[in-house]
Structure 1
Amino acid sequence: MDTRLLHNDPQGIEAAATILRAGGLVAFGTETVYGLGADARNDRAVAAIYTAKGRPGINPLISHFVSADAAFEQVAASPLARRLAARFWPGPLTLVLPRAEECAISTIATAGLPTAGVRVPAGATTQALLAACGFPVVAPSANPSGRVSPSDAQHVLAGLDGRIDAVLDCGPCRVGVESTIVDLSGERPVLLRPGGITLEALEDACGAPLVTPAGSNDINPSAPGQLSSHYAPGLPVRLDADTVASDEALLAFGSELPGSPLVWNLSRTADLHEAAARLFAGLRFLDMEGRRRGLVRIAVQHVPGHGLGRAIRDRLIRAASPRP
């Protein structure tokens, strides 16, 4: 299969929508990362995503919609869900809610769970693509399962060229980490994955603390991003480094530690928004160039755990976990 690179223009958007209508796979950029899209109603198309990514079938997918009204046709929306949607959609927030009785989302996409993850992504191109399709589009990160998420079109091609139909080049992703996932299917809201909307902003909108379970779920995840090993480069990752060796690449934050021959600084001014946007590109660069130079690992300077730092640290911890 030859993977087409489509331009970010009306012709490219229509070509991408045509492929999705026919049951094909198209990667496209959102405000978070590039997603690998398929018609969420089409069992065969959804199954093809799992095959292309090598993704475990127990790991559910998020469905993307052009509007909150369209999303809430597929799930049972609580008053809190509607309040969060009004505040944060379009944007990097996914809500996990009970499937509606007439839910059209494939049960393959929801891993057989009674819930579904839904979101309305931001970005003019993404919105135009979803409007052209007229149906929900599932779109996990467009990379081989467990590896570093893609934040531009070339990252997608590096991992999936020849395995998917097309990539719609939407330029670099603005947020750079995946959406925050909140489970609203129980009595209390639960933070399943930190992401582009901070915990502090969510708790302010909810008017109460969220449940924040610790650890991972490798057996029966209820949402993406819960597996212990995820977002992993080829080189091992060492966290919270206060020194760096001459055979290590350095993922820096703020003032750089001396001693590494290869450095990517997430933000020299210690800006967490800049750091999030540069995280996955930095891991990819250090991994590729570090292996080429014969380096043995990636050392990571400390990133604080507040605001967007919570999402950055979550990705780094999973990147550093033992590989299955």
Structure 2
Amino acid sequence: MATTGTQRHGDANVTKAAALLRRGGLVAFPTETVYGLGALATDGRAVARIFAAKGRPSFNPLIVHVPDLAAAERLAVFDPLARRLAAAFWPGPLTLVLPLKEGHGLSPLVTAGLDTVALRVPAAPLARALLAEVGGPLAAPSANPSGRISATRAAHVRAGLGDAVDMVLDGGPCPVGLESTILRSAPLALLREGGLAAETIEAVTGPLPRDVTPGRVQAPGQMSSHYAPSLPMRLDVTAPDPEALLIGFGPVAGDLSLSPEGDLVAAAAALFDTLHRADAEARARGASRIDVAPIPETGLGRAINDRLRRAAAPR
């Protein structure tokens, strides 16, 4: 997809950015907190491009941006406290972690295979205009290489991500300049300090329990055994075994394949869905194990292997 460069805000450029997103592109856009690296949250391949662009070392859940509470309610289940928080602080720099609603339609990559989703309604006018024009939810982590300083100006995005981004909407500097505060409503916990002060939130909730341990924002994937199917798994298998279902990749053909072409972006997008399908098909045919072909330990391959190793760990 051709890179269109940095564009000033304006109706024509918002329309152009929305069209890019609907075609699977990546668009960096300003929120009131930081610039986000946006992709259509229902498009697994587009979401996988976020991980590739950022050099993200593992699949972490992503925040989904929506235009309003009604759009959020189509994706997640709101309890009374979550509704009060949304009424008090949306639009604004608050992210709520809530149970997924059946039929949500989000790519499993967005939630890292979890049963919750992180949702936010941004306040920045350009972000709101883009969401309205796209007509769908946008997954948008901070628009910077993984582990580096967050971008609060369009120039930061280009310096960090270069041509990995199809378009940057320049809305000037972000007024908050700090990532959103993340809350879980049930049970109530502050998961990340951010652009909305905890003391302000406590006026609505009362005292906030803290659960801000690094790596635990909403990522039980830190556990050594996680993402596991019901059957045992064996990795780096290059030949079929009659006792197992084989997930192939590239030149290793299998009963299923993450990508016959050896495309790591496509494999990342397909990973969770393929594991679900492999588990069901293996059990249906009476196989005793799921085997997986070797995945290169480069780029997104490192993230794919991270999740496969967790899935294959003893449990």
- TM (norm. structure 2) is 0.67
SS of the residue corresponding to residue 182 of structure 1 reads strand
1:55-204 equivalences in 2 (<5 Å): 55-184=56-185, 186=186, 188-204=187-203
Task: Write the distance in 1 (CA, Å) between the matches of 2:154 and 2:24.
Answer: 21
Query: Structure 1: which 5+ runs fail to align?
Result: 227-324
Letter in 1 for 2:209: V
Task: Write the distance in 2 (CA, Å) between the matches of 1:32 and 1:160.
Answer: 18
Letter in 2 for 1:10: D
Which residue of structure 1 lines up, in the alignment, with residue 218 of structure 2? 222
Task: Write the distance in 1 (CA, Å) between the matches of 2:82 and 2:57.
Answer: 28
SS of the residue corresponding to residue 112 of structure 1 reads coil
Q: 1:175-205, CA deviations, whole angstroms, 9 ceiling, x for partnerless residues?
A: 0000000012x3x311110111111111111
Task: Write the distance in 1 (CA, Å) between the matches of 2:43 and 2:93.
Answer: 24
8 Å contact from structure 1 (residues 60, 222) kept in 2:
yes
Letter in 1 for 2:31: T
Q: 1:127-185, CA deviations, whole angstroms, 9 ceiling, x for partnerless residues?
A: 1100000000010000000100000000000011111101000110000000000012x
Task: Write the distance in 2 (CA, Å) between the matches of 1:156 and 1:45.
Answer: 18
Q: 1:253-293, CA deviations, whole angstroms, 9 ceiling, x for partnerless residues?
A: xxxxxxxxxxxxxxxxxxxxxxxxxxxxxxxxxxxxxxxxx
8 Å contact from structure 1 (residues 33, 149) kept in 2:
yes
SS of the residue corresponding to residue 209 of structure 1 reads coil
- CA 1:7–1:215: 2 relative to 1, 3 Å: same
SS of the residue corresponding to residue 36 of structure 1 reads strand
SS of the residue corresponding to residue 118 of structure 1 reads strand
8 Å contact from structure 1 (residues 94, 182) kept in 2:
yes
Which residue of structure 1 lines up, in the alignment, with residue 54 of structure 2? 53
8 Å contact from structure 1 (residues 74, 103) kept in 2:
yes
SS of the residue corresponding to residue 171 of structure 2 reads coil
Deviation at 1:106, TM superposition (A): 1.0
Tell me which protein shows more helix as a share of its residues: 2
8 Å contact from structure 1 (residues 180, 196) kept in 2:
yes
Letter in 2 for 1:209: P
SS of the residue corresponding to residue 28 of structure 2 reads strand
- TM (norm. structure 1) is 0.66
CA RMSD of aligned residues (A): 1.6
Q: 1:210-233, CA deviations, whole angstroms, 9 ceiling, x for partnerless residues?
A: 11125322xx6516xx9xxxxxxx
8 Å contact from structure 2 (residues 190, 212) kept in 1:
no
SS of the residue corresponding to residue 60 of structure 1 reads coil
Aligned sequence identity (%): 52
8 Å contact from structure 1 (residues 3, 163) kept in 2:
no
8 Å contact from structure 2 (residues 192, 212) kept in 1:
no
Letter in 1 for 2:167: A
Task: Write the distance in 2 (CA, Å) between the matches of 1:214 and 1:162.
Answer: 34
Query: Structure 2: which 5+ runs fail to align?
Result: 223-315
8 Å contact from structure 1 (residues 32, 196) kept in 2:
yes
Aligned residues: 220
1:169-318 equivalences in 2 (<5 Å): 169-184=170-185, 186=186, 188-206=187-205, 208-217=206-215, 221-222=217-218
Deviation at 1:70, TM superposition (A): 0.4
Q: 1:29-70, CA deviations, whole angstroms, 9 ceiling, x for partnerless residues?
A: 000000000000000000010010011333110000010110
Task: Write the distance in 1 (CA, Å) between the matches of 2:80 and 2:141.
Answer: 27
Runs of 4+ that moved beyond 4 A:
none
Deviation at 1:4, TM superposition (A): 1.4
Task: Write the distance in 2 (CA, Å) between the matches of 1:5 and 1:103.
Answer: 32
Task: Write the distance in 1 (CA, Å) between the matches of 2:101 and 2:30.
Answer: 28
